[in-house]
Structure 1
Amino acid sequence: MGIKTRGNAMTDTGIQAPKGALLDGPGAAKKAEAPLIAQVAQQFGVSPLRQMRDIFSMRRGAQKLSGPEYYSLRLFDPDIAPTAKRAFLGQAGINALNTSMNPPVAVPTRAFVGNKLLYTQLLAQLGIGTSTTQALVSKFRDAGKLPILRSADDIATFLRETAQFPLFGKPHHGSLSEGSVRIDGRDGDTLRLGNGLTQDIAAFAEEVMDRYPGGFLMQTALDPHPDMAVIAGPSIGCVRIVTVNDGAGPTPAYAVWKLPAPAAMSDNFWQDGSLLAHIDLHSGEILTCVRGTGLKAERMADHPVSGAPMVGVTLPFWAETLKIAQDAHAVFPEFGVCGFDIAVTADGPKVLECNDNPSHMLYQIASGTGVTQPELAPTWDAVAQRQSKQVARLNAGTRKKR
């Protein structure tokens, strides 16, 4: 049995609501419950004992798959060949794979790239399209001529007097969109949020300062290219381009479009209602689109809310999107693998973030294939071999200095 296919259904589930204005992160994955195990046994003819054997087998070695990941990736499906199942990695296996391509000793710039303020400021100085930071919230950090908001009162004053809306706020360090918020505008002392809710300015300012006193960015929000907005709505859904460098220069490895849920302020797939599209690397054509995981996973040819076609559509500015990812990677060629989140706007692609430990789980869910499948495994191996040689050279140099 395959994933359910949907057409033009016009209903959708809501996203997980934050306690305040800022988005909460995803909860920890839960262990498989007995009803789920029984449901898989009934629907797919895979006995509970066989499920447990598969899980224990995939937990070992390079796969490092947990029980929840086994069900999330639908690896219980007997239609997936055993060799294809072995190409999937759990998050622990993904972390190990990325570390082999970005070993800390060979990539000392990881902390800099992970600093969203410094990284985007550097890209802007180099003429690489990126987001614009209007202000930085921080009790102790300075940022040259950039306005610094030291207190909740400073944040409130900025929002009332000098902010240019729409705004997008996010921690200057972090992942999975935790702490992010889109602010579409202001009505007096009330902020209009991108998810349709409102928030008092003073309460919002206190929340930001309480949760992120060390650094929170206030950036100009970007709008998606009209061709993409017709499909997925007004919120930015980043294209994730994973690039690699085996010593011959950065090249793209795969691409995924993260379509935000209808009422979402960001595009992370853990939010209910979000979708993932697998993109043909060479043409920019949407090959498949998936909503949900595990038994709830659905393949969709058309968007579940807008009804617009997705599969077969070619994303705009595709050649430029691939090039900007390669150009950004080339600024730090010591990285073996990078995951770039790129906003495709009417003015072209903009690099929003670089991930030195990209979650290949997005690719596995969107494509339905393991990240170490035959088309990609040689790429990872070549990069890891290059980095292994670099580590050996660096270690040999250190020994000589002693």
Structure 2
Amino acid sequence: MLQMGRFCQLWVLLFIFIASQLCNAMALFPTGVRGLRILQSGKPNIPQAQHTDHRPGYVKNMGCASGSARCHVTLSATEWLAASTAGSTVPETTSLEAFRNEAESGQKLGLLPFGVADAMLPGETKQVHLYEARFTHLFESATRNHGCLGQLLVTRDSGVAAVTSLLEVEESRRQDIGVWAQLKCVARVRLTSLEETEYDYLVGEVEMVTDARNSAQPNTPTPAVLKGAKKRNDDVGDLDPAQEIGRETDSEADNEVGLEDENEEELEAEHAAEQLRETHRSCRRLALACKQLADEDAGADERTQGPDEQLTEIVQWGHEARREALPFESALDEIVALRRDAILSRGPDAAPASSLIEQVRTLWGVDTEAQAERQLLSFAATGFLSPVERAEALGMRDTVQRLQHVLTALRENERRLAAQLALRNAFR
């Protein structure tokens, strides 16, 4: 009996050990996607290390410290788009044959799975640690060819969002297990089909998604149209001067109507952008006022309560105050500036772009710097929205609609914060 009891104890201890190891392993998968860890946004605090990897095109230590591993700069998303759609020329350091194959078979993009809550909008960055074989194969394939990935946004009911994010690999570094990378969202794509590769990761055939309003061209005739019109006139002989004047008048009237419509859209977009900025400033003022009163009340409670009561009350109240103020801790202009810097960045080895339009003209379908700035504002202002609202904003194809979408949510927050501030003042 004594031996049997010891034998049972050993089995119990073994079971506890295995269970603890399983719990520790599960803690490594906070995103629910096995083999992928999502880290924080922003720049990493990872020591420089030397790695040797002779595979062509692999993104190595992008920190490029003196004496560190050799760096390789891959294509930007703009070059990937140009090469995929039109067989455009690309830098000699890339695989031209790979891009020709992509152009012939359609625009294909390796997809990294994320939950909808982790959806990225243009200008946002995210750090990831890839350590499962299928994801490291996906990453190596992308960095070897063009340095672009797509997000596969998985919904709660195991569905997949049709519109998703186009990501550039901004930096990457080999780890003892897997690879660390910083990804930057630069544009949006629509998934038209999915297929599984031999390495068990998904590849999607995609098409670019841009705002419809900004993709419209001014209503002016092109040289080809004018040349064709002249040829037709030559074929039929000279036209009556009255008919010529009438046609010129109709053409001028059409151009004037087109310019008026374009000006109205510009004014509407600018008005929506200004309303959004002002409402965000109002929300920030109210949130900071609520936080100030909460801090004052917490200080008063410290002086009247015992140590145990102080600890419990401060933790609960402090959590509530942080939850209210967190989305508006930074001014909207500061957030937009951070997103702009991210878009302008060309990696640690190159100077940033001189203008936003230079980086996003083809990716966002914009014609002017003002249009690009308004789109950037509409993306940057979504930071405080819920995951569902952010996913909706990602799929919208109208800048004004997206600005108004954010503005509606801001006004709801403004009313809530005003009511909370009034209640706090009433019970002081």
TM-score (normalizing by structure 2): 0.24
Q: Which has the larger Rg? A: 2
TM-score (normalizing by structure 1): 0.25
Of Structure 1 and Structure 2, the greater strand share is in 1
